[in-house]
Amino acid sequence: MTKVIVFIDHKRGVIKKATAESLSVGKNIAGQIPLVAVMFGAGAKDAVFCLSKYGVDREIVFDNKHLKNPVSLNAVKPLIAIIKQEKPDIILFPHTAAVKELLAAVSANLGISPIVDCVAIENTDGKLTCHRPVYAGKVVVSLTSNQKPTIVSIRPNIFPVIERSAKTKIEEFAFQLNATDILTTIREISGDDKKRPDLMEAKIIIAGGRGVGCAENFVVLEQLADVLGAAVGASRSVVDAEWQPQCIQIGQTGKTVAPELYIACGISGAIQHLAGIYSSKTIVAINSDPDAPIFKIADYGIIGDVKEVVPALIQELKKAKQSS
C-alpha cells in the first residue's frame, strides 16, 4: 500500500517528457493505490487529458495570481500544505533544473533527506532502493531512506514512458498564497521558442568538439541536427573558446545527458566529457585521430574529418528519408 504523489513540471500546461517518465515510475510503485499528481499554475486544469494517459487517478491543482512561475521555490507553501493533507509515502519529482529549488525547499522544511537524480529504482513493498551515479558516474550508489514521506527525483531520459488509461479526477486545492510568499521573481524569459529540443529531453544529440575547427563550422552540425530533429551540444573546449554558449556544454561541468543516440564530432573523449554521456544508448564518434579515446566507448566510430563526414551523413539521411 504505497501512496505516491508526483509533482508535475510543465510549461503552460504542457507537461515535460521527464514528468511523463516520473508518472510512469510513480504508477509502477503505486500499483492499485490511486496515483496523485500535483500541478500548479496556469494550464493545470486543462492537463487532465494528458495526465489520464499516464494513469493519474487524482489531480490536485492550485493556481494563484502571485504564482507566476508555478514550479519555482515560490510554490513551497501550498506544496507542503498538500503533502500534510495527503500524507503520501513517496513524493516523486522529475530531476529538472526548474523544480530543484522547490524540491529542496520542501525537503528542508519537512526535515527530509531527498534522494535525487536516480537512474534506477527497486520497490519492495513500498520501500525504495534508489540507485544514483556519483563521482561523475564512475560509481553508482544504492540508497534507502528511513523517512516518510520519501522524496525522490529521477534523471530525465532514463525511465520509459508507459501509457495507460485512467479517469483523472480534478480537485482544486484551496490555499491563501500572498504577495509576501513570493521569494524570487522572473524579470525576463527568452529562448522559449527554440525549434530544437532541449538537451535533457532530446532523443538524439549532435555534439561538437574542438575538432569542428571554428564557431562557423557548427552550422554543419546544426544542419545534421535539423535533419534528425536533434539537439546540439558541445565539449568544454568549444565553450571555453566561446564558439558555443555554456548552456550546451556536456560533461562533468556541463549537462549530463542520456539520449538514444549521441554523435560526437571532433571530440577527443576526455574523462570529464564521457562523464556526461555515459548513459547514452548508442554513441557514434567521428574523429580524425584513430587513437582518440572516444573510439574506446563509441558503438560506431568513423575515422575522418568532421567537415567531410558530417555533410556525407546529411546526404545519406536525406536519401534514406526520401526512399522511406
Partner 1 sequence: MNIFICVKVVPDSETIIKIAPDGKTIDETNIRLAINPYDEYALEAGVQLKEKVGGEVTVISVGDENVAGVIKKCLPVGADKAIHLIAPNSRMVEPLSIARLLADEIRSHPFDIIFCGKTTIDAQNGLVGELLGSLLNIPVVSAASQFSVEGDRAVVSRDVDGTKEIVDCALPCLVTAEKGLAKPRYPSLKEIMLAKKKQIDSEPVIPGEPNLCVLGLEYPPNRPPGKIIGEGAGAAPELVRLLTEEAKVL
Q: Is 80 in the site for partner 1 (CB under 8 A)?
A: no
Using CB under 6 A, which residues numbered 50 to 89 contact ligand FAD?
none
Closest approach, Cβ 165 to partner 1, in A, equals 27
Q: Which of 15, 73, 82, 128 binds partner 1 (CB under 8 A)?
A: 73
Rounded to whole angstroms, how far apart are CA atoms 118 and 103?
Answer: 14
Among 253, 278, 279, 297, binds ligand FAD (CB under 6 A): 253
The residues, ordered by sequence, that sit 6+ positions from 320 with a Cβ below 8 Å of its Cβ are: none
Cell of 74: 515560490
Considering beta carbons, is residue 170 or 270 the nearer one to partner 1?
Answer: 270
Residues 97 and 12: beta-carbon distance below 8 Å: no
Least Å distance between CB 262 and ligand FAD? 12
- Strand-pair partners of 152: 92, 115
Which residues, including other chains, have CB under 8 Å from residue 206's CB and lie 6 or more apart?
A: 221, 222, 224, 225, 228, 230, 231, 232, 233, 263, 265
| Cell 577527443, located at residue | 268
- Rule CB under 8 A: is residue 249 a binding residue for partner 1? yes
Among 69, 123, 223, 272, interactor with ligand FAD by CB under 6 A: 272
Size of the site for partner 1 (CB under 8 A): 96
Q: Are 121 and 154 in contact (CB under 8 A)?
A: yes
Tell me which residues in 193-212 interact with ligand FAD (CB under 6 A): 209-211
| Residue of the chain from 38, 83, 154, 313 that contacts partner 1 (CB under 8 A) | 313
Total residues at the site for ligand FAD (CB under 6 A)?
29
Q: Which residues from 212-231 bind partner 1, rule CB under 8 A? A: 228
Segment lying near ligand FAD (by CB under 6 A), choices 45-53, 112-120, 186-194, 281-289: 281-289
Question: In a 3-state reduction of DSSP, which class is residue 243?
Answer: coil
The strands making up 58-62's β-sheet, listed across from edge to edge, are 115-118, 150-154, 90-94, 4-7, 36-40, 58-62, 169-172
Query: Does residue number 292 form part of the binding site for ligand FAD (CB under 6 A)?
Result: yes
Q: Is 297 in the site for partner 1 (CB under 8 A)?
A: yes
Spatial distance between the Cα atoms of 240 and 198, rounded to a whole number of angstroms: 21
| 127 binds partner 1, rule: CB under 8 A | no
Using rule CB under 6 A, residue 254 touches ligand FAD:
yes
C-alpha 180/C-alpha 270 separation (Å) is 47
First to last CA, the chain: 49
| Residue 301 makes contact with ligand FAD by CB under 6 A | no
Does residue 28 bind partner 1 (CB under 8 A)? no
Residue in the structure block whose three cell numbers are 529521477: 154
Please, what's the largest Cα pairwise distance for the chain? 63
Select from 1, 65, 97, 160 the one that contacts partner 1 (CB under 8 A): 97
Q: Which stretch binds partner 1 (CB under 8 A): 59-67, 79-87, 164-172, 308-316?
A: 308-316
Could you list the residues that contact ligand FAD (CB under 6 A)? 209-211, 213, 235-238, 249-254, 266-268, 270, 272-273, 276, 286-289, 292, 305-307
